[in-house]
Amino acid sequence: MDHTEISRLIALEDTHWWYRERRAILRRELRGMGRPGRALDVGAAGGGNTRVLVEAGWDATAADQSETAVEMARERGLKAVMADARALPFEPGSLDLVTAFDVLEHVHEDHQVAAEIARVLAPGGHALIAVPCDMALWSAHDDAVGHVRRYGRESLTVVVERAGLKVDRVWSWNVLLRPLVARYRRRSQGSDLRRMPLLVNAGLSAVIRAERYLPVKSLKGVTLFLKARLGN
């Protein structure tokens, strides 16, 4: 993702329905991970998810290969480091949690990223990963934001398990809005990252929040989440 896209993301993430609900998912997942420890947010951009980790009591660091992203995360009072996801500047077994939202799809060597996540995790440590799913949804948006691929459940699981992590759960997100997204993306000319009218944003927020209570996580969505851990 280039500097322009990062700047757009940072400007939008506090209010945009997509990013707000993903932070809510992160908060819910953190509740089941036990006592907070050391965490790393890979591909953190401006640190929206890193802030969630800090608020939940984790000793969290934002990592991104963009100097712009790191500077903005630090301006928000977060610990942040410049880092290539394929070579994380952390000691083996030094972290209790690694989050990587919208990272693997940007890297040709996604297996190296998964291997690095496994390397830096302590035994019993957790990984929480999110990626765009289904190549059938490929569009100009993917090209604009620098995606290399979109994933299926099997392809994502294979990458993570080959790195030595045990997959606990894989689930779909943004299922209800998939038909709308697919239609919109077929006509899109570039990135979807833009400010939305308030009423549209509120309506989409209401739809995506409804997924919390509906049995749709096994259906096809727009995003895949995966939770894994390093065996003891």
pLDDT reading at 4 higher than 70:
no
pLDDT reading at 5 higher than 70:
no
Instruction: For strands 121-132 and 223-230, give the pairing.
Output: antiparallel
**Cα–Cα distance measured from residue 61 to residue 121, given in angstroms and rounded to the nearest whole number:** 14
Please give the tally of structural domains in the chain.
Answer: 1
Helix (H) or strand (E) holding 42: strand 38-42
In the chain, the largest separation of any two C-alpha atoms, in whole Å, equals: 48
Q: How confident is the model at residue 175 (pLDDT cuts 50, 70, 90)?
A: very high
Give the domain CATH number at 140.
3.40.50.150
pLDDT digit string, tens, across residues 79-97: 999 999 999 999 999 999 9
**Is the alpha carbon torsion for 9, 13, 17, 21 positive or negative?**
positive
Q: Which letter does DSSP use for residue 89 in this model?
A: S
Closest C-alpha to 48, from 83, 14, 3: 14
Q: Which letter does DSSP use for residue 68 in this model?
A: H
Whole-number mean pLDDT of the chain? 92
Q: What share of the chain is helix, strand, coil (3-state, %, to 5)?
A: 45, 25, 35
pLDDT digit string, tens, across residues 88-138: 999 999 999 999 999 999 999 999 999 999 999 999 999 999 999 999 999
CB 44 within 8 A of CB 50: yes
- Phi and psi of 191, rounded to 5°? -65, 145
CB 85 within 8 A of CB 39: no
pTM higher than 0.85:
yes
Q: How confident is the model at residue 193 (pLDDT cuts 50, 70, 90)?
A: low
**Cα–Cα distance measured from residue 95 to residue 125, given in angstroms and rounded to the nearest whole number:** 7
State which residues form the domain around 175.
3-230
CB 151 within 8 A of CB 103: no
Q: What is the pLDDT of residue 45?
A: 87
